[in-house]
Amino acid sequence: MQPEGMVHALEQIHRLLKPAGILIEIHPAVDGPPFVEVRSNEELFFSEEDPAFDYEEDLRRAEAAVESVLERRLFALEDRRKFELRTYAASVKEMRDHWTFVGAYDPEEPEEALLRRRDEMYARAAAALDAASDVPELVYVEPAQMSRLVPLMGDRLR
């Protein structure tokens, strides 16, 4: 989404919310890329950042859009939480099939070199899965943040 589109979306949400309404905004955290783990219970066998993470600039634009509506006093930030969204699979194939399935509509693919580095990372993860004791799982970890914003009346768009 382009920056002006983000701001416009926030303006529209402001219009649709009741005056005492609440906006919950969730997006990947800008301060850390997603990473892949191989773990079994509490034992960690493998952990690497996703080398195809290439949307930091998009995240910064999203944060700038939120900041702009806060500065305009369209919304006020009341609270914020950081969390990790974790996706578990038994194998690399299962995990990648899942991402293909849920992300098939994503029009923007990372560049070829990044995709090759991601393939190599998943090959190392597969080796760690094979070598690990017990019944290990592959985990894709996405650092994220969730904000609670409330609409302000001063710049109310109607």
Partner 1 sequence: MSVRTDPDGNETDALFELVHLEGAHVLEIGAGDGRLTWRYAHRAARVTAVEPFEASVARAKQGVQGADAAVEFHHAAFEDFAADNDPDVFDVALLSWALC
Q: Which residues bind partner 1 (CB under 8 A)?
A: 1, 6, 8-9, 12-13, 15-28, 55, 58-59, 61-62, 65-66, 79, 81, 83-90, 94-95, 98, 102, 104-105, 137, 144, 146, 148, 158
Q: Which C-beta is closer to partner 1: that of 78 or that of 116? A: 78
Residues 131 and 125 sit within 8 Å (Cβ to Cβ): no
Cα–Cα dist 124/72, whole Å: 48
| Cβ at position 79, least distance to partner 1 in Å | 6
Q: Which is nearer to partner 1, 79 or 119 (CB)?
A: 79
Q: For residue 8, what is the enclosing H or E element?
A: helix 3-16
**What is the helix (H) or strand (E) element at residue 124, kind and residue range?**
helix 112-131
Minimum distance, C-beta of residue 61 to partner 1, in the bound complex (Å): 7
Q: How far is CA 127 from the centre of its chain?
A: 26
